Amino acid sequence: MAVSELIPAEEGRGLYRALAFRRILVICGLIVALVFSFSFDLALGPARYPLSEVLAALINPSGADLQTRVVLWDIRMPIALMAISVGACLSLAGAQMQTILANPLASPFTLGISAAASFGAALGLVAGVAIFPAAVHYMVPLNAFLMAMAASLFIYLMSTVRGVTVQTIVLLGIALVFTFNALLSLLEYLASEQALAAVVFWTMGSLTKATWGKVFATFAILIVCIPFFARHSWALTALRLGDVKAASFGVNIKSLRLKTLLGVSLLAAIPVSFVGTIGFVGLVGPHIARMLVGEDQRFFLPAAILCGALMLSATSVVSKIILPGAILPIGVITALVGVPFFFVLIFADRRQSW
Amino acid sequence: MVTLQLKGLGARYGSTLAVEGVSTPVFSGGELTAVIGPNAAGKSTLFKRIAGLLKGPGEVVLEGNKAAPRDAIRYMPQDTHANAVLTVYESVLLAAKQGEGWRVKDAELVEIDQILKALQIDGLAFRNLGELSGGQRQLVSIAQALVRRPEVLMMDEPTSALDLYRQVEVLNFMRDLARRQGTLVLIALHDLNHALRFCKNTMVIAGGRLMAAGPSEDVITSSMLRDIYRVEARVEACSRGENHVIIDRSAA
């Protein structure tokens, strides 16, 4: 058989090992970039600290003076960690949504989970309605979480109905986006000026609401979901070859898709309820990871997590550099900074992906 | 050697019985068996049912198998386009590693190298799946099916996108492999001359039922072609003495 690029068979495994090694290097590179971004995120702000001082205060907090310790550990650290955990959660959620729904546009944002969360938050901010009345103090994030989970569960339940295809699920998600946006608009129309401002600010997404509790909660959901995805990495990768092919490999598609959807729902709902709508990361983080390391989930999974974390962390740094002192909604900045970067990647990447 | 027999096998899509009452003689490993029939006859459905991907009445009797039926029987679906960002090599590795750990052993990679070379697609190893032609994808699918070392392999139209040379190469390769490893290979085919030439036995499926099963030369006859395929045709020996189907016209 005539083939254009003949590679001797004995070189196949060598080339594969080299490819795998290159991907590990890319992942290591992302880790290093994330560490740098995180350190800069801590160093920058109204009071700037040299990186050496930041590192010293991190390694030995008691050695730093009180002001530095308070600024770094109590004020900036939760926000910087929140950027990482939220970015990681949303990107991982988007990656697995794109995988199980075989759709490059799938993300928490496009499937209505973020819109549902916004509506839930607005219910609390505008109408003072607490879906879970026992915890009125946490009304806004709790409403957002419950609505996001309700939207996810709706999609989850619909996907179990016989004859429902992945395309139907994507269409259902888009219908949810429109429904919740319409409901949100209605609430905004009825809202007082003060409540309207609060809703608009909430929907833009902001990391300034970060607390240590929220940081732990977002990392906890990552710790729960990552081992599950890692254990099913071969099966999840096989889904990208199509349902019939994956089934022929012995993958239990229905069960895997449902379990993954459940994990993804938590990954999307928890961060969104804490920090508001940050749309871009969940869509683009996975695409960047895919361009860097391909879709073998053993590499794609860590790369998607790191890309999302790095995107939000770097955005936080960039926004501090561009407009020192101003606190801009991170959801807006992420899109503005990320889109040009994403365009460059799309046009630089000549391979057909999707 | 592995043997396979179907007893009253049926397959359900929802509440519809798409295949029913398929009972066959015992097929033994080491040979190719053609599964023929018109479009939408139920060939793929039957394969999926045998592989356990569909539910239905009846029984698949597998004997002499080394692995559990779930691992012993493999189904290679019809060509499906995949736009995954995976190389050919990775997609074959993926087939091999299902249900296993992350670590990839050298022996597994050696096996992939050998299969790609045998199918003469080693030159495509590091191309992305999205860049392949239909025929190349089909060869990759065969590699994915073979890497799992099936004892019973069902191939759904594995040669439909291949040129003549590759059709003959692939069928020759599969016949040799079946003989060498004792694999029982069922192949859904549209080219009846391939069935006559490469397959010892043939099963005819139409309307979700088994219409005939037995040695290919006994099954592929003028009357079967008229009844099942609605063509007037002759089955005649060529100058080398091999039987060929010659189609005269569509039956009235």
State how far the Cα of A70 lies from the Cα of A68, in Å rounded to an integer: 6
Contact status, residue B91 vs residue B169, Cβ threshold 8 Å: no
pLDDT value at B217 more than 80: yes
Q: Check the CA dihedral A280-A286-A289-A291 and report its sign.
A: negative
More confident position, B103 or A166 = B103
Nearest Cα residue in chain A from B137: A241
Residue A6 pLDDT level (bands cut at 50, 70, 90): very low
CATH number (domain holding residue A88):
1.10.3470.10
pLDDT value at A144 more than 80: yes
B128 beta partners: B87
Q: Which of A346-350, B104-108, B235-239 has the lowest mean pLDDT?
A: A346-350
Spatial CB neighbours of A151, under 8 Å, sequence gap ≥ 6: A111, A112, A113, A115, A116, A117, A176, A180
Mean pLDDT calculated for residue range A281-307 = 94
The pLDDT of residue B186 is 96
The pLDDT of residue B176 is 93
Maximum distance among all alpha carbons in chain A? 74
| Mutation site, B81, B83, B100, B159, interface A, largest A CB count within 10 A | B83
The pLDDT of residue A7 is 47
The pLDDT of residue A350 is 58
The pLDDT of residue A234 is 96
Q: Which helix (H) or strand (E) holds A276?
A: none
User: Is B125 in the A-facing interface, judged by CB distances under 8 Å?
Assistant: yes
Residue A236 pLDDT level (bands cut at 50, 70, 90): very high
Q: Check the CA dihedral A34-A291-B108-A241 and report its sign.
A: positive
Contact status, residue A308 vs residue A282, Cβ threshold 8 Å: yes
> Which tens digits make up the pLDDT trace of A53-66?
888 888 888 888 88
> Which tens digits make up the pLDDT trace of A306-343?
999 999 999 889 888 887 777 677 877 887 777 787 78
Which residues on B lie below 8 Å from A241 (Cβ)? 80, 82, 84, 86, 91, 94, 129
User: Is B124 in the A-facing interface, judged by CB distances under 8 Å?
Assistant: yes
Q: Which of A191-195, A349-353, B151-155, B205-209 has the lowest mean pLDDT?
A: A349-353
Report how far apart, in Å, the C-alpha atoms of B159 and of each of A132, A243, B137, B182 are: 60, 21, 11, 21
B76 beta partners: B155
pLDDT value at A31 more than 90: yes
- Which of B 181-240 lie inside 8 A of A, CB atoms? none
More confident position, A333 or B220 = B220
- Identify whether A54 is part of a domain: no
The pLDDT of residue A351 is 56
Q: Which two tokens stand for residue B172?
A: 């020759």
Residue A278 pLDDT level (bands cut at 50, 70, 90): confident
pLDDT value at B6 more than 50: yes
User: Is A233 in the B-facing interface, judged by CB distances under 8 Å?
Assistant: yes
Residue type, A61: P
For A151-210, give the DSSP string: HHHHHHHHHHSTT--HHHHHHHHHHHHHHHHHHHHHHHHHS-HHHHHHHHHHHH--GGG-
Mean pLDDT calculated for residue range B182-188 = 95
How many helices (H) does chain A have, and how many strands (E)? 15, 0
The pLDDT of residue A177 is 93
Percent of chain A with pLDDT over 90: 42
Residue B212 pLDDT level (bands cut at 50, 70, 90): very high
Asked if the B3-220 domain carries CATH number 3.40.50.300, the reply is: yes
Report how far apart, in Å, the C-alpha atoms of B216 and of each of B160, B188, B226, B230 are: 20, 13, 16, 19
ipTM (interface predicted TM)? 0.89
State how far the Cα of B139 lies from the Cα of A207, in Å rounded to an integer: 51
- Identify whether A285 is part of a domain: yes
pLDDT value at B139 more than 90: yes
Residue A160 pLDDT level (bands cut at 50, 70, 90): confident
- DSSP 3-state percent helix, strand, coil across chain A (nearest 5): 80, 0, 20
Q: Which two tokens stand for residue B181?
A: 């490893």
Q: Residue B16: how many CB atoms within 10 A of its CB?
A: 8
Q: Which two tokens stand for residue B80?
A: 């499906």
pLDDT value at B79 more than 80: no
The pLDDT of residue A4 is 37
More confident position, B161 or A135 = B161
Mean pLDDT calculated for residue range A292-318 = 94
Nearest Cα residue in chain A from B111: A13
Q: Which of A112-116, A202-206, B138-142 has the lowest mean pLDDT?
A: A202-206
> Which tens digits make up the pLDDT trace of B13-47?
877 888 999 999 999 999 999 999 999 999 999 99
Return the closest-CA partner of residue B128 out of B158, B92, B87, B176: B87
Contact status, residue B66 vs residue A336, Cβ threshold 8 Å: no
Residue A354 pLDDT level (bands cut at 50, 70, 90): low
State how far the Cα of A341 lies from the Cα of A346, in Å rounded to an integer: 9
Total domain count, chain A? 1
pLDDT value at A10 more than 70: no
The pLDDT of residue A86 is 95
Spatial CB neighbours of A60, under 8 Å, sequence gap ≥ 6: none
Q: Smallest Cβ distance to B98: which of A1, A19, A234?
A: A234
To the nearest 10 degrees (0 to 180), the angle between helices B88-97 and B134-146 is 30
Q: Which two tokens stand for residue B152?
A: 């019973």
- Identify whether A2 is part of a domain: no
Give Cα B5 to chain centroid, integer Å. 16
> Which tens digits make up the pLDDT trace of B36-77?
999 999 999 999 999 999 999 999 999 988 888 888 999 999
The pLDDT of residue A3 is 40
pLDDT value at A87 more than 80: yes
Q: Smallest Cβ distance to A250: which of B99, B113, B126?
A: B99
- Assign residue A250 a region (left: φ > 0; alpha: ψ between -120 and 50; beta: otherwise): left
Could you list the residue range(s) of the whole structural domain that residue A148 is in?
75-348
pLDDT value at B150 more than 80: yes
Backbone angles phi, psi at A105, to 5 degrees: -95, -5
Per domain, the residue ranges of chain B are 3-220, 221-252
